[in-house]
Amino acid sequence: MKSFEKKVLCIGAGYVGGPTMAMIAAKCPQYEVTVVDIDERRIAAWQSDTLPIYEPGLLDVVKIARGRNLFFSTDIDEGIRHADIIFVSVNTPTKTFGDGAGRAADLQYWEKTARNIVAAAESDKIIVEKSTLPVRTAKAMGRILNANDKGIRFEVVSNPEFLAEGTAVADLENPDRVLIGSRETEPGLAARKEIVDIYANWVPAARIITSNVWSAELSKLVANAFLAQRISSINSISALCEKTKANVAEVAHAIGMDSRIGPKFLNASVGFGGSCFKKDILNLVYICENYGLYEVAQYWENVVRINEYQEQRFVRTMVRVMFNTVADKRIALFGFAFKKDTGDTRESPAIHVAKHLLAERARVVVTDPQALDNAKKDLAGAGGNVEYHEDPYEAARGAHAIAVCTEWQQYVHLDYRRIFDSMEKPAFIFDGRNILNHKELYETGFSVFPIGRTALKHF
């Protein structure tokens, strides 16, 4: 049997664990990489050509290493026993019960994993926090792990993941930076080096940065808070643009050319979604409150509030301009994923839009190239009249309005003359991502309502 240089395990085969480990295995044939999960169906899907998540280019990366040095399994205990280094990439959602409900991170999956590791391990190991965790979690983890009576030592290292869904493969292959935080003790620094050595196989040394463990944990929460803050900032300005006839795209372009501001993350939209931004900011808010930093907590909480305001504003505009009633009107949602190039719908603004429209008794039709299965689950309990169509032309047929909720490029290139002809009149388009050619749509006959710029109306 081939002997590998390092035996790496990842617990949690989700959006982060699967792609990150596939990349490590593809880049480092000298390591054995195993990914385990309690979810048998997920593991089976990772072993097939229909991966459990949609991510451009991911199957190619998986295929390079699968069966060679990349393995997927449900035998978690065996995986733990066998490994030298264990990445933990389980979910850390917002707590829904007890103290901190709706804000704090729910660490039950993380803690169960830690206890699982203690129970199954038979030798010293490095434990890598890959999940996003509240600052100072490593301390609690160290305590749980090292409170064993087997004489086994665990060193906890923080290596938060900065990949973005939709571009995960490119982000992992060519990351802006990899961050590795550890204790600044001799065993801590030795563990840090082990993890640095993994990434050094393909990431330039200048992009591998190290820090103390608390800075690494906190940097992940802060990175997401800053990214979301930029979206909420431009979205708040979009509301002002609509009142003043300024154009938010022109404003974003003008300010983004200032090198101190930069052009990225300045697209006004129906709002941000995804499993991380909201939960990580609320977690940051909760931590600040725990330290008595109420002004700081309030500052960051407003980033989430503006996002909710933006989602509500979008759907209220729809109802208002459609003569204050959408009851029994067919409305097609173009896109349900929280962003293009993913099937992930967690916290997608489309969920809010659909539920609000259903509450107004509209007939909602959802179309999306990758997210229909998730959309069905998200709207399962919502009641009302919902249809799902893969084909956007079918979704729009007989509709009174289209609401663009995801910036899928295929929606830019549809035949909107054909769509217009098949719709009820007056036909409305609400472009929640500002991706369509509004002037052309207007000339085709649509009344067009973008975000942060003047509507083009035929009445």
* Listed ranges 12-20, 146-154, 408-416, 418-426: which one lies at the site for ligand NAD (CB under 6 A): 12-20
Q: Which two tokens stand for residue 372?
A: 């229909």
Question: Which range of residues in 158-166, 208-216, 288-296, 450-458 is near ligand NAD by CB under 6 A?
Answer: 158-166
Residue whose CB is less far from ligand NAD, 375 or 386:
375
Q: Which of 8, 16, 297, 354 binds ligand NAD (CB under 6 A)?
A: 16
Q: Which of 158, 219, 275, 367 binds ligand NAD (CB under 6 A)?
A: 275
12 touches ligand NAD (CB under 6 A): yes
Tell me if 28 contacts ligand NAD by CB under 6 A: no
Nearest 10 degrees: CA dihedral of 131, 137, 141, 142?
120
Distance between CA atoms of residues 123 and 151, nearest Å: 9
Angle between helices 213-244 and 294-321 (to 10 degrees): 40
Q: Distance (Å, rounded) from C-alpha 388 to C-alpha 114?
A: 41
Nearest 10 degrees: Cα torsion 194, 198, 201, 204: -80
Contact 18, 208 (CB under 8 A): no
Q: Which of 404, 407, 386 is nearest to 446 (CA)?
A: 404
Of 8, 10, 15, 235, the one binding ligand NAD by CB under 6 A: 15
Q: Which residues pair with 371 in a beta bridge?
A: none
13 in contact with ligand NAD (CB under 6 A): yes
* List 8, 28, 163, 395, residue binding ligand NAD (CB under 6 A): 163
Q: Active-site positions?
A: 276
Tabulate helix, strand, coil % of the chain (nearest 5).
45, 15, 40
C-alpha count within 13 angstroms, C-beta hemisphere, residue 301: 14
Quick check: 310 binds ligand NAD (CB under 6 A)?
no
Binding to ligand NAD (CB under 6 A): which residues in 255-274?
A: none
* β-sheet bridge partners, residue 357: none
Quick check: 158 binds ligand NAD (CB under 6 A)?
A: no
Q: How far is the CB of 281 from ligand NAD (least distance, A)?
A: 12
Q: Which of 9, 23, 80, 90 binds ligand NAD (CB under 6 A)?
A: 90
Residue 170, CA distances (Å) to 57, 103, 121, 136 in order? 9, 31, 34, 30
> Is residue 20 within the footprint of ligand NAD (CB under 6 A)?
no
Regarding 276 and contact with ligand NAD (CB under 6 A), the answer is yes
What is the smallest separation between the CB atom of 141 and ligand NAD, expressed in angstroms?
Answer: 13
Applying CB under 6 A, what is the total number of residues that bind ligand NAD? Answer: 26
Nearest to ligand NAD by Cβ — which residue?
A: 14
Q: Which stretch binds ligand NAD (CB under 6 A): 9-17, 237-245, 284-292, 298-306?
A: 9-17
The strand order across the sheet containing 125-129 reads 70-73, 31-36, 6-11, 85-88, 125-129, 154-158, 178-182, 208-212
Considering only 8, 9, 14, 31, the residue that binds ligand NAD (CB under 6 A) is 14
Using rule CB under 6 A, residue 91 touches ligand NAD: yes
Half-sphere exposure of 446 (CA within 13 A, CB side): 30
Q: Which two tokens stand for residue 387?
A: 């249809």
CB atoms within 10 A of CB 331: 27
Closest distance of CB 294 from ligand NAD, Å: 25
Nearer to ligand NAD, 276 or 306 (CB): 276
Report the nearest approach of ligand NAD to the CB of residue 122 (Å).
18
* Window 93-132: residues binding ligand NAD (CB under 6 A): 109, 112-113, 131-132
Q: 10, 17, 227, 310: which one contacts ligand NAD (CB under 6 A)?
A: 17
Min dist CB 342 to ligand NAD, Å, is 9
The nearest distance, CB 243 to ligand NAD, in angstroms, is 35
Torsion (CA) 379, 381, 385, 386 in degrees, nearest 10: 20
Q: How far apart are CA 425 and CA 396, in angstroms?
A: 12
71 backbone dihedrals φ, ψ, rounded to 5°:
-130, 150
8, 9, 11, 178: residue in contact with ligand NAD (rule CB under 6 A): 11
Sites of contact with ligand NAD (CB under 6 A): 11-17, 37-39, 42, 76, 89-92, 109, 112-113, 131-132, 161, 163, 165, 275-276
